[in-house]
Amino acid sequence: MRFSRGVITIAIIVIVLAVAISVGLYHLLKRTPKLAERHPYCVVRTPDGVRNLDPEQAQIAATIAAVAARRRLPERAVVIAYATAIQESKLYNVAFGDRDSVGVFQQRPSQGWGRKKQLMDPVYATNRFFAALVKVKKYRKIPLAEAAQAVQRSAGGYAYAAHEDEAKILAAAFTGRVPQAVHCWYAAAKTPAPTSRTAAARKQLARALGGTAITTKRRGWLVAAWSVAHAEKYGLNRVGYNGATWVNDYERDGWQTGGKASARRVDLS
């Protein structure tokens, strides 16, 4: 069977177009996962494991650790608080819940925890949680679920135990016991945050922590972790402490050593 030149030409054009479309689709699909990944994120890395968070979860976790430090509570208290918050709200500050439950710990105004507006403030809610926890006899030694249930009085108190391992990883990072453990990224111009924004960050930190003075390296790393977790909220692009620096750079994965930051102050910009 013979074909005219026109038919052959059309066939060649169709083949070329098909190949071009296939190549274009291949590169688009290859690129899609990378584009999808470019949402704000945080990752916590400790010797016991890795956990991924979004910025709001990281901010809640950092706030809980700061309030615990202000109240001079042990890391076990932070672990119990994290396991409770993960079960109750997945570490989000939610404005709804069972009946009138709200906030990170799903506390109920009708049960005397405070007004809804107060309970939607993570600093206030965390203080109320810890105030109740320290009244639980031997809370440091009894099983986590038992301690959490004594505070929450939930219908399914056994569920808190399932989050203990994750809570321990987060506590090691956000209390500052494991340095350089918190890394976050968000899309932003690579320019230093204005002084007003860094001042606002320090003011909010002081509200949770009671002050911004660095008295120990562990406290310094707690402040550094809090600052990285709140980087998106305050437009921070760089956090430095004790010779290490976090930079809001998608191409970097974690803290870099060799910076000039001292151990006496956490630098923000």
Cα 239–chain centre separation = 16
Question: What is the predicted pLDDT for the residue at 29?
Answer: 42
Residue 22 is predicted with a pLDDT of 46
Angle at 110 between CA 167 and CA 155, to 5 degrees: 50
Strand pairing of 41-46 and 244-247?
unpaired
Q: Could you list the pLDDT tens digit for every one of the 269 residues in the chain?
A: 444 555 455 545 545 454 444 444 444 444 444 434 579 999 999 999 999 999 999 999 999 999 999 999 999 999 999 999 999 999 999 998 678 899 999 999 999 999 999 999 999 999 999 999 999 999 999 999 999 999 998 777 789 999 999 999 999 999 999 999 999 999 976 788 888 899 999 999 999 999 999 999 999 999 999 999 999 999 999 999 999 999 999 988 889 997 789 999 999 99
pTM: 0.85
pLDDT recorded at residue 25: 45
pLDDT at 16: 45
Q: What pLDDT does 198 receive?
A: 95
Q: What is the pLDDT of residue 220?
A: 98
Give me the pLDDT at residue 120, please.
Answer: 96
The whole-number pLDDT of residue 7 equals 47
Cβ neighbours of residue 101 under 8 Å, at least 6 residues apart? 88, 107, 108
* Amino acid at residue number 125: A
pLDDT of residue 13: 53
pLDDT for res 192: 81
Phi-psi region of 254 (alpha: psi -120 to 50; beta: other; left: phi over 0): left
pLDDT of amino acid 37: 53
Distance CA 148, CA 160 (A): 7
Structural domain boundaries of the chain?
Answer: 41-268
Tokens of 52: 């991924």
